[in-house]
């Protein structure tokens, strides 16, 4: 391309927007567009798609037309451009005919570089006439996924765009932009717009500043209040699925003194835009909304998106959650899951009068959304792979990545489930399978003669609910495949077959007891506040001080001395020196919450057997690996390794840990224990010589 065009673009970036460099993807998209190549640009929310047409609009001669789905937001976008002194306007049905006439004539005079229109307007005769008088150089289609029926936001009016383009009197460059394109949606766009693969520029979908969390079995209301209380000054969106629920949440929050506005389709246009404006301009901190809210909202400091209910598709979820953190700052996306929501969504889908194909697809999407809530994989990774970006990389901070529960070998139980599915010839769904396995006396099983199958009662020590949940996990991990219907039957995948033949084993994290309160969230919040403060003072992003994961670990262990502090994963020498004392100041306020040593080993869990990783650790230790080697190999702290070993020994694994402590040390330790008791280790450690370590003490005293 011409070098000076690119230079011109770069100049604009700096002079107008005040940015030094293009972000990933922006430059290639802009280069292509300036070269007159039709382009599809896929960048995550907040990636900076607007600049990809705004800057070319300034460099190219003539007018850039921006097709944008929402009338209500055109004004904001145009206002923002006008703030930057960029001549832009919009045409939509909110204008008086007089105003429209004035704008038309100014457009003809060539006064505006950018004109925003809704797709509905493209076919209007007056608009068609206007086109005769202007020279278009670029047509930008924002939220282009609305063109595809496979997208979650399909808009029939977007379908007319491609034929409209084909009938334009002159050739124009086309740029289609979206943040949520599955492979299928992308193919559709290519086909509609005749754009070859090589001109699709995608920077992927990853949003590294978002922390995804799925909360299962929490009291939603309670969770919400404590979540919000910890974010008093932060701006956020709460999504609920029905108008009624929006109203309810809104009133409750308001009565508790939160600055909040509601938003849903049952409100009139004026009320809605009032709430929306107040939110955009930080006059209210929180907006409670149905999914009607948000498309095209460019508010950058949304710090959290809380989903009170399950969205219907992963696309919708990611787009809604993705409205957090456009500015690149750390933000939270929390989804409160309850099985009831799946039933509600299923019901709604059943009621809708879609074609069978369409309905089947919708059920499949709902299942994939549900699987997101049950998966054990990194949540960001799950989303990326949903959009076709398979990666091994994990985010390190979502609720699955920071899940501290140990993985348990559930191969045997998985095999039971799979054989049961096979026995009933893949003709039944989750509930029936669970009932057979626990040996339910339900009449229906008898009628169906399912009490005779060999797997009947095989998991009688489980509750039906736990088995059903286990099946959810197995579906999320793609061992089982549900059919795409409202009463899905379950089938085995290739992966399950490999488990049955013993080639693959199944490890799952044991779920937390449903009603267990969040572990010491107040500590975490206090640490977060401190991090935020330090981040402002030192002018570095919060995550560069400590990751959430590190703060989580601190909140769990509550280190009280510099030594303890440095044993937290993520705390190196530098960080210890720079931030140690400041953090300890806060941590010491929570001294009373510090868990006793042995409670740290395993958070309380439901269910009985906890066969797990500690046995693996013990086995490897028996086979000669040292603690230091195990720390490396298993990515656990040495404390955890030691706890694994102690536990294994206590449960009868022959490790003879004492042998690793010299006799003389053992004697001293026993004496000390006599003296101060074995209630806590610290007093023992304190009266012993320096060189005797906690490990020595633990190994000597056993569990």
What's the closest the beta carbon of residue 54 comes to ligand ADP, in angstroms?
8
Binding mask 77-116 for ligand ADP (x = CB under 6 A): ----------------------------------------
271-330 binders of ligand ADP (CB under 6 A): 298, 300, 326
CA dist., res. 343 & res. 473, Å (int): 17
SS (H, E, C) 134-146: CCEEEEEECCHHH
Contact of 506 with 410, CB cutoff 8 Å: yes
Instruction: Name which of 186, 177, 187, 195 is nearest 56 in CA terms.
Output: 177
User: Within a 10 A sphere around the Cβ of 453, how many other Cβ atoms?
Assistant: 17
| Candidate segments 39-47, 108-116, 432-440, 682-690, binder of ligand ADP by CB under 6 A | 39-47
- How far apart CA 419 and CA 12 sit, in angstroms, is 64
State in angstroms the smallest separation of the CB of 608 from ligand ADP. 48
Residue closer to Mg ion by CB (options 116, 524) is: 116
Which residue lies nearer to ligand ADP by CB, 143 or 472? 143
**How far is Cα 143 from Cα 203, in angstroms, rounded to an integer?**
16
Laid out side by side, the sheet with 114-117 consists of 88-91, 114-117, 63-67, 136-141, 173-178, 39-42, 200-202
Nearest by Cα to 305 from 250, 374, 224, 218: 224
CB 140 to ligand ADP: min, Å: 11
Of 60-68, 181-189, 388-396, 429-437, which segment contacts Zn ion by CB under 5 A? Answer: 388-396
Q: Are 59 and 34 in contact (CB under 8 A)?
A: yes
Give which of 115, 45, 121 is closest to 81, Cα–Cα: 115
378 lines the binding site for Zn ion (CB under 5 A): yes
| 395 contact, one of Zn ion, ligand ADP, Mg ion, none, CB 5-8 Å limit per kind | Zn ion
**Dihedral in degrees, nearest 10, Cα atoms 265, 267, 269, 274:** -120
Interface residue with ligand ADP among 34, 40, 51, 237 (CB under 6 A) is 51
Taking Cα atoms as reference points, which of 657, 360, 377 lies closest to residue 483?
Answer: 360
Q: Which is nearer to ligand ADP, 45 or 313 (CB)?
A: 45
Q: What is the C-alpha to C-alpha distance for residues 119 and 160, in angstroms, rounded to an integer?
A: 8
Could you tell me which stretch among 44-52, 110-118, 200-208, 584-592 binds ligand ADP (CB under 6 A)?
A: 44-52
Dist. CA 372–CA 383, nearest whole Å:
8
Stretch that binds ligand ADP, among 41-49, 90-98, 419-427, 518-526 (CB under 6 A): 41-49
Give, rounded to a whole angstrom, the gap between the first and last alpha carbons of the chain.
71
Q: Which candidate, 242, 212, 231, 246, places its Cα nearest to that of 335?
A: 212
Tokens representing 302?
């949304």
By CB under 6 A, residue 50 contacts ligand ADP:
yes
Shortest approach of ligand ADP to residue 330 CB, angstroms?
15
Nearer residue to Mg ion within complex by CB, 49 or 613: 49
Compute the least distance from the CB of residue 213 to Zn ion, in Å.
10
Which of 9, 12, 22, 55 forms a contact with ligand ADP (CB under 6 A)? 22
CB atoms within 10 A of CB 124: 12
Q: Look at residue 401 and give the partner it binds from Mg ion, ligand ADP, Zn ion, none, a contact being a CB closer than 5 to 8 Å depending on partner kind.
A: Zn ion
The smaller minimum CB distance to ligand ADP, of residues 287 and 432, is found at 287
Token pair in block for residue 214: 């799925």
**By CB under 6 A, which span of 47-55, 267-275, 403-411, 442-450 interacts with ligand ADP?**
47-55
d(C-alpha 349, C-alpha 343), whole Å: 10
Query: Are the CB atoms for 62 and 281 separated by under 8 Å?
Result: no
Shortest separation between residue 297's beta carbon and ligand ADP, angstroms: 9
**Least CB distance from residue 398 to Zn ion, whole Å?**
3
In the complex, least distance from residue 199 CB atom to ligand ADP, rounded to whole angstroms: 19
Residue placing its CB nearer to Mg ion in the complex, 9 or 140:
140
Check binding of 657 to Zn ion (CB under 5 A).
no
41 vs 580 by CB, closer to Mg ion: 41
Label each residue of 306-374 as H, E or C.
EECCCCCCHHHHHHHHCCCCCCCCCEEEEEEECHHHHHHHHHHHHHCCCCHHHHHHHHHHHHHHHHHHH
**43 lies in the binding site for ligand ADP (CB under 6 A):** yes
Answer yes or no: are the C-beta atoms of 102 and 96 closer than 8 Å. Answer: no
Question: Least separation, in Å, of the C-beta of 354 and Zn ion?
Answer: 34
Residues 299-318 that bind Zn ion (CB under 5 A): none
Residues 6+ apart with CB under 8 A from 347: none
Pick the closest to residue 559 from 531, 530, 523 (CA basis): 523
Nearest distance from residue 152's CB to Mg ion, in Å? 16
Going residue by residue from 628 to 647, which x/- string records binding to Zn ion, judged by CB under 5 A? --------------------
**177 vs 349, beta carbon nearer ligand ADP:** 177
Nearest in space to 524 (alpha carbons), one of 590, 470, 467: 590
Q: Does 47 bind ligand ADP (CB under 6 A)?
A: yes
Q: How far is the CB of 418 from Mg ion (least distance, A)?
A: 45
Helix ranges restricted to H, 204-338 = 220-229, 243-255, 269-280, 314-321
Binds Zn ion by CB under 5 A, chosen from 122, 287, 395, 701: 395
Q: Which one among 33, 34, 40, 45 touches ligand ADP, defined by CB under 6 A? A: 45
- Residues belonging to the chain: 703
- Please list, residue by residue across 404-443, b when 16 or more beta carbons sit within 10 angstroms of its beta carbon and e when fewer do: ebbebbbbebbbbbbbbbebbeeebebbbbbbbbbbbebe
Residues in 277-296 at the binding interface with Zn ion, rule: CB under 5 A: none
Residue with tokens 């399912």: 450
Nearer to ligand ADP among residue 45 and residue 380 (C-beta): 45
Q: What is the DSSP string of 546-591?
A: --HHHHHHHHHH---SHHHHHTSTT--HHHHHHHHHHHHHHHHTTG
Q: Is 14 in the site for ligand ADP (CB under 6 A)?
A: no
What single string gives the DSSP state of each residue in 649-666?
HHTT----GGGGS-HHHH
Q: What's the min distance (Å) between Cβ of 143 and Mg ion?
A: 7
d(CA 113, CA 128): 18
Q: What angle do CA 298, 299, 302 make, to 5 degrees?
A: 130
- In angstroms, give the least distance from the CB of 332 to ligand ADP: 18
Residue with the shortest CB distance to ligand ADP: 48
43 binds, among Mg ion, Zn ion, ligand ADP, none (CB under 5 to 8 A by kind): ligand ADP
> Which of 5, 10, 16, 23: binder of ligand ADP (CB under 6 A)?
23
Q: Which of 6, 10, 11, 19 binds ligand ADP (CB under 6 A)?
A: 19
25-64 positions binding Mg ion, by CB under 5 A:
49
Interface with Zn ion (CB under 5 A), residue from 401, 417, 645, 669: 401
Give the helix/strand (H/E) hosting 116: strand 114-117
Among 12, 29, 39, 49, binds ligand ADP (CB under 6 A): 49
578 binds ligand ADP (CB under 6 A): no
The site for Mg ion (CB under 5 A) is made up of: 49
The site for ligand ADP (CB under 6 A) is made up of: 19, 22-23, 26, 43, 45-51, 298, 300, 326
The site for Zn ion (CB under 5 A) is made up of: 378, 394-395, 398, 401
């Amino acid at each position: 391309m011409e070098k000076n065009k690119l230079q011109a673009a770069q100049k604009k970036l700096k002079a107008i927007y005040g940015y030094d460099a293009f972000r990933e993807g922006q430059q290639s998209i802009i280069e292509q567009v300036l070269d007159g190549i039709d382009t599809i640009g896929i960048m995550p929310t907040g990636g900076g798609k607007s600049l990809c047409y705004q800057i070319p609009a300034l460099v190219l001669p003539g007018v850039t037309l921006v097709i944008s789905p929402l009338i209500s937001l055109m004004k904001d976008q145009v206002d923002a451009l006008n703030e930057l002194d960029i001549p832009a306007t919009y045409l939509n049905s909110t204008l008086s005919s007089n105003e429209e006439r004035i704008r038309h004539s100014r457009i003809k005079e060539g006064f505006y570089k950018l004109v925003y229109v809704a797709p509905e307007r493209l076919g209007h005769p007056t608009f068609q006439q206007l086109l005769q008088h202007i020279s278009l150089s670029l047509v930008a289609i924002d939220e282009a996924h609305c063109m595809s029926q496979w997208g979650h936001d399909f808009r029939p009016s977007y379908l007319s765009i491609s034929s409209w383009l084909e009938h334009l009197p002159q050739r124009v460059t086309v740029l289609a932009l979206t943040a949520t394109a599955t492979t299928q949606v992308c193919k559709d766009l290519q086909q509609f717009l005749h754009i070859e693969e090589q001109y699709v520029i995608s920077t992927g979908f990853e949003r590294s500043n978002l922390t995804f969390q799925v909360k299962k079995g929490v009291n939603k209301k309670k969770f919400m209040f404590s979540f919000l209380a910890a974010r008093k000054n932060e701006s956020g969106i709460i999504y609920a699925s029905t108008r009624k629920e929006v109203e309810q949440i809104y009133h409750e929050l308001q009565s508790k003194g939160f600055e909040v506005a509601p938003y849903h389709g049952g409100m009139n246009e004026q009320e809605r835009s009032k709430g929306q404006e107040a939110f955009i301009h930080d006059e209210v901190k929180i907006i409670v909304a149905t999914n009607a809210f948000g498309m095209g909202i460019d508010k950058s400091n949304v710090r959290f998106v809380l989903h009170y209910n399950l969205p219907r598709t992963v696309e919708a979820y990611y787009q809604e959650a993705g409205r957090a953190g456009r500015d690149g700052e750390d933000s939270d996306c929390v989804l409160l899951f309850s099985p009831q929501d799946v039933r509600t969504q299923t019901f709604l889908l059943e009621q809708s009068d879609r074609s069978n194909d369409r309905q089947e697809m919708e059920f499949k999407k709902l299942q994939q959304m549900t699987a997101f809530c049950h998966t054990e994989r990194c949540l960001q990774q799950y989303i990326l792979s949903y959009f076709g970006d398979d990666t091994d990389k994990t985010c390190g901070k979502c609720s699955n990545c920071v899940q501290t529960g140990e993985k348990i070998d559930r191969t045997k139980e998985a095999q039971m489930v799979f054989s049961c599915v096979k026995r009933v010839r893949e003709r039944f769904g989750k509930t029936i399978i669970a009932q057979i396995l626990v040996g339910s006396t339900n009449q229906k099983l008898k009628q169906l003669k399912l009490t005779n199958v060999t797997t009947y009662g095989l998991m009688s020590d489980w509750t039906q609910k736990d088995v059903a949940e286990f099946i959810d996990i197995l579906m999320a991990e793609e061992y089982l495949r549900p059919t795409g219907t409202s009463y899905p039957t379950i089938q085995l995948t290739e992966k399950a077959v490999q488990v049955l033949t013993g080639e693959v084993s199944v490890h799952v994290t044991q779920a937390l007891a449903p009603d267990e309160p969040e572990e010491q969230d107040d500590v975490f919040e206090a640490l977060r506040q401190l991090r935020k403060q330090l981040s402002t003072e030192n002018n570095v992003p919060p995550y560069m001080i400590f990751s959430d994961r590190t703060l989580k670990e601190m909140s769990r262990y509550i280190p009280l001395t510099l030594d303890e502090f440095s044993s937290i994963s993520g705390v190196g020498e530098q960080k210890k020196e720079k931030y140690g004392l400041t953090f300890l100041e806060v941590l010491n306020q929570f001294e009373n919450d510090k868990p006793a040593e042995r409670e740290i080993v395993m958070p309380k869990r439901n269910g009985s057997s906890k066969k797990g990783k500690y046995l693996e650790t013990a086995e490897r230790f028996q086979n000669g690996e040292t603690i230091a080697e195990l720390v490396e190999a298993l990515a656990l702290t040495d404390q955890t390794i030691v706890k694994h070993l102690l536990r294994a020994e206590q449960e009868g694994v022959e490790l003879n840990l004492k042998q690793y402590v010299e006799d003389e040390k053992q004697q001293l330790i026993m004496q000390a224990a006599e003296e101060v008791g074995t209630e806590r280790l610290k007093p023992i450690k304190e009266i012993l010589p320096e060189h005797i370590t906690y490990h020595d003490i633990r190994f000597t005293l056993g569990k």
